[in-house]
Amino acid sequence: MSDSLLTMGWAMTVALFCVEGMMGGVYAAYFAGKFGRKGTLLLNNAVAFTCAALQGCSKVSKSFEVLIAGRVVTGICCGLNSAVAPLYLAKIAPISLRGFCGTCSQLSITFGVLIGGILGMKLVLGTETLWPILDASPTIPAIYSLVTLTFCPESPKYLLVNKRDDDAAEAALIWFRKTSDVSEEMEAMKKERQDLGTHQRSLRSEVYTHLYVCRHKGQQLL
């Protein structure tokens, strides 16, 4: 392989991470709705751990394909995590702390970029022999997230609105608030669920009305 093709290959490997990150953000809502906020984060971190471990082993296995595949899937995981983690934090935090929790999530991402830049310096891990350790380093936060999230309940709002499980939602809310007096917050979420259902029915009716009018008016014009 020529030097120009090799350079292009490494450039694409780096660029694919950002492209797949956007793809992960696009599909974040689908995964969060299907598997839940906590479920999506657990699945995402399990995949991220596997990919980071494969990237770390790419030099030993002498397979650049493994490194590229790991970078691509890791990009998707980062996109998913960047969207779902703030959502989970916002739904489990008290109303007075939701803005703060959302800010902490983005601040943590920025801090992680800073740490990655420092570790990537030649004086640290950015050398010909140590870069596999740098590529495998995401396994540490992935393991930490997997262990800690296992003991956390699902988002109360997801359980109430999406799963329609009032008892599970109340139990999760009690766990997060560390108090049994959650009736006011439960009523607020139930009202939001009712309003959401009313809005969806109204929107569906409006769509059907427009389709009916377009169909019959279109026939008259023809």
What number is the average pLDDT over the span 48-64?
91
User: Of the residues 152, 182, 205, which one is the last residue of a structural domain?
Assistant: 152
Q: How much is the pLDDT for 114?
A: 95
How many domains in the chain? 2
pTM given for the model: 0.84
Using 50, 70 and 90 to split pLDDT, how confident is the model at 219? very low
- The whole-number average pLDDT for the span 205-222 is 48
- Crossing angle of helices 28-35 and 3-26, in 10° steps, is 50
Instruction: Write the pLDDT tens digit of every residue in 74-128.
Output: 999 999 999 999 999 999 999 889 888 888 988 999 999 999 999 999 999 999 8
Q: For the chain, what is the mean pLDDT?
A: 86
Quick one: tokens of 1?
Answer: 């392989």
Query: Does residue 157 share a domain with residue 130?
Result: no
End position of a domain, from candidates 124, 152, 180 = 152
Token representation of residue 4: 């120009």
Do 75 and 183 share a domain, yes or no? no
Residue ranges making up the domain that contains 12: 3-152
Tell me if residue 54 falls in helix, strand or coil. helix
Tell me, what's the pLDDT at 195?
85
Together in a domain, 24 and 38: yes
